[in-house]
Structure 1
């Protein structure tokens, strides 16, 4: 069984869905667990109930407190049928706080420079926000682009990462 927990953050509630092994299967700035579970690949869906997120919760608190690398070691479980999407999510985890990249740069880092729309799709379909930091990918002109959880959240996260 998966467990979910909602943490209070300076930008609103943040909910994580964690497996028995302590890996994150879904995360986002919402209290709607059902909505989060729609982002999880069907092969990774299980019943979910409230519970203690353990070290995942502690990592989020540390991140919000200024330890921007605290979330880097948290394991995630993301599954997709496409090789590019899987590669893009792996690459996204390597984008460092305070060093956002453009969608074009992200496509290049992912090994397919022409796949700019694919890079944008990897961001949009990311089920584990914050841990796979899609908020660190920007438009070519430096503007924010989109963010499932709201542009105010993306802006806050980028500002938090740029000053710490």
Structure 2
């Protein structure tokens, strides 16, 4: 049986696009105008479909919006709102921390400036299964994976809000 994300990708017709990007990234090719793919209607709807089933989707974000608020919008209005956000999007710095774990492994934490997680998550969720890690790291430097635990838990008495103010 096929993976759910792969099935969703096929439903929105993004499989060929992601496969092509993956092949090109493995050949070391450079990309131009990826924003056209990222802001395509199919990619935005695919990201929404993947995010709405996420356990944290019912938790209000910084803007107090939940998935239930978003699903009240009609499709065209939702897609236009997402596109509008991307037209004003600029990359921002990220603080990266490696925290030692038991057994000698490292836990990689990333602290974004507040407000960038939704853009990163929307793209990452829609492309994670098809795009190689090297592609994400080199071509889309602004797509930094925010681990859910950094959004909801406190570390050493500092709240996430304090970390965003670093």
- Scaled by the length of structure 1, the TM-score of the pair is 0.30
- Scaled by the length of structure 2, the TM-score of the pair is 0.30
More helix per residue: 2
More strand per residue: 1
Larger RCO, structure (CA 8 Å, separation 6 or more): 2
